[in-house]
Homo-oligomer: A and B are copies of this chain.
């Protein structure tokens, strides 16, 4: 598990390092913009009536909310992706492959989000959404471990920082997994349980090793 720098790597200042990020950014941007296509302008009988148009738009409410939720969820993962790759000094082919696997689930996310927007009361929709998001968070850990084990990071994180970062990425996996049985009792309770992320992250923030910020600054 010793950090080994291999010749086949693409260093940070290479065209190839940049391409992986350009490709990832393009895919994130498309996944975040596509959902607006699903918000179709409604048809009303009297096109000048405010009341009728308001009613018709009311039915689009869940689509609009679903668009903004999806944008926020995928945007949060983009921020994490941006922060993670900022720590790397190089990529290897394994990381490029794992990144593609991660992006496949990012590209897929608009579907479970739209499903949740339409069937918010249905335990199955909540489950599918929770599983999809848990997979993306889980793959974050896999990417992090791979980069750590192959010595691709600019600086080796101290052991306590590494453990803390892994815990922070795994927390949403555990939280979303826990919400699945809750969803079969009550879907609103399940969605509320996701809000537990806020106190959990606050506690994790308190446990953050002092030198973490130093490490992130590279």
Contacts and interface: CB of A to CB of B under 8 A. Distances in A.
- Tallying the copies of this chain within the complex gives 4
Given A8-B217, A217-B8, A119 B53 contact: yes
A110 interface: yes
A2 interface: no
Given A26-B29, A47-B119, A17 B18 contact: no
B19 A82 contact: yes
Given A16-B86, A121-B48, A31 B36 contact: yes
Interface in A27-47: 27-34, 36-37, 39, 41, 44, 47
* Interface size class, chain A: 35 or more
Chain A contact residues: helix, strand, loop or mixed = helix
A135 interface: no
A125 interface: yes
